[in-house]
């Protein structure tokens, strides 16, 4: 396995797990290394000669690629607060299925201070991922949704220009400074 230049010391050889720093995560996302590596692993597996299946001779041959999970203190309360403020609906899609709604940090979690409701949006899980990747953002001048041109040929393009749903009270709205800072990652 080749080493990734941003994280040589982050590998746990016994588990084949890579720990990614936030800088490393951004590098992986921008360079497409994770997708490329996963595609290589799948191709290697598919190219291997297939022998009959023997359920008594199974070993875990999966390669593990993961990021360290950071315990997010207060995440439960943060989500509950955003569910109430956004009337249990995604701020972008309007989805009301609570099971897929997540409390998204605008400025990434860095401790309990970042669990402030003004640093959060209630987003559907897939939209949350796109938001974190900088493929969806908010134009604070009009409080409308920006969708990356990379998503134009997908179903996500329908959200471009849509008004962001906001909490009833102005003091509960997301921070425009935080949204502007997030928009700097927009691609």
* Among the ranges given (2-11, 37-46, 71-80, 157-166), the one the predictor scored with the smallest mean pLDDT: 2-11
Amino acid 172: pLDDT: 95
Q: Give the percent of the chain with pLDDT over 90.
A: 56
Give 148-151 contacts, CB < 8 A, sequence gap 24+. 148/186, 148/187, 150/187
* Cross-strand bridge partners of residue 121: 104
For residue 63, pLDDT beyond 80: no
All residues at 6 or more sequence positions from 48 whose CB lies less than 8 Å from its CB, including other chains: none
| Residue closest to 71 by CA, chosen among 13, 28, 111 | 111
All residues at 6 or more sequence positions from 110 whose CB lies less than 8 Å from its CB, including other chains: none
Helix residue spans in 48-186 (DSSP H): 75-85, 125-132, 176-183
All residues at 6 or more sequence positions from 42 whose CB lies less than 8 Å from its CB, including other chains: none
Amino acid 111: pLDDT: 85
The pLDDT confidence band at residue 85, using thresholds 50, 70 and 90, is: very high
The pLDDT confidence band at residue 75, using thresholds 50, 70 and 90, is: confident
Amino acid 132: pLDDT: 94
Amino acid 65: pLDDT: 47
CA distance 63 to 5: 19
Please say whether the beta carbons of 16 and 2 come within 8 A: no
What value, to the nearest 5°, has the Cα angle with vertex 171 and ends 170 and 175? 95
Backbone angles phi and psi of 105, in degrees to 5: -85, 135
């Amino acid at each position: 396995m080749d080493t990734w230049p941003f994280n040589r010391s982050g590998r746990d050889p016994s588990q084949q797990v890579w720990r990614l720093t936030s800088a490393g995560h951004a590098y992986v996302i921008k360079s497409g290394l994770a997708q490329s590596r996963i595609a290589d692993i799948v191709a290697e597996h598919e190219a291997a000669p297939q022998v009959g299946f023997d359920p008594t001779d199974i070993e875990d041959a999966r390669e593990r690629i993961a990021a360290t999970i950071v315990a997010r203190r207060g995440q439960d309360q943060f989500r509950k607060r955003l569910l109430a403020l956004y009337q249990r609906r995604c701020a972008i899609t309007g989805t009301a299925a609570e099971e897929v709604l997540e409390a998204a940090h605008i400025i990434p979690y860095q401790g309990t201070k970042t669990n402030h409701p003004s640093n959060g949006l209630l987003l559907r899980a897939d939209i949350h991922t796109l938001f974190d990747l900088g493929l969806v953002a908010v134009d604070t001048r009009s409080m409308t949704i920006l969708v990356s041109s990379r998503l134009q040929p997908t179903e996500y393009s329908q959200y471009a220009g849509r008004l962001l749903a906001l909490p009833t009270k102005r003091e509960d709205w997301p921070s425009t400074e935080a949204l502007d800072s997030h928009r700097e990652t927009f691609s």
